[in-house]
Structure 1
């Protein structure tokens, strides 16, 4: 109601009680109640007049009918039976192998146990120091940066 919460309403009533006084407060409440009722009746009459003039009642009724039809179709869709279990399974010839047991395509070699080519190259590089490196004739390679 007008964005007023309970604490604000209590504060307004307390201020009204102090300002108006306890003797006149019931009469004021009665007159406010009557005024609110008249205001509500006037707004309802205005709404009805506007709806009759513009034909909004017909539009509103057609929208309600459409909403009911849509709700029925959604309810029917939700209550549809689930597909049978045999449809969910793959045909006999197309069953997949368990994870980790799939066959490699032709031409692909198996990876040796314990590491790949990158690990082997790292190990070879670590074993040979620059002093150990030799050219094709067996002579130690010279480092030109000395």
Structure 2
């Protein structure tokens, strides 16, 4: 788990979130968080792939 948070810590965070935002807003926040994480992973994957392609082009140019 990231940041070494156990199940009790996750449960505590979820409970605090439920108390602060309420039961109607919490699913919307979870969906927005999931979408943000998905977009972040996609963009970092694209950056890594483009860096690898640039590295391959530079290696080919040297030989």
Give me the TM-score of the superposition, normalised by structure 2.
0.76
Aligned to 2:37: 36
Q: Deviations over 1:46-66 (max 9, x none)?
A: 1101111113xxxxxxxxxxx
Per-residue deviation, 1:2: 2.4
The answer to whether the aligner puts 1:2 opposite 2:2 as a matched pair is: yes
How far apart, in 1, do the equivalents of 2:55 and 2:12 lie?
A: 43
Q: Deviations over 1:1-45 (max 9, x none)?
A: 422332221111111001001111111111111111101101100
User: Which protein is bigger by CA-based radius of gyration?
Assistant: 1
> Runs (4+) of structure 1 moved beyond 3 Å?
none
Matches within 5 A, 1:36-75: 36-55=37-56
How far apart, in 2, do the equivalents of 1:28 and 1:38 lie?
A: 15
The answer to whether the aligner puts 1:20 opposite 2:17 as a matched pair is: no
State the Cα RMSD in Å.
1.7
Unaligned runs of 5+ in 2: 57-63
Higher relative contact order (CA 8 A, sep 6+): 2
How far apart, in 2, do the equivalents of 1:22 and 1:42 lie?
A: 31
Matches within 5 A, 1:114-125: none
Greater per-residue helix proportion: 2
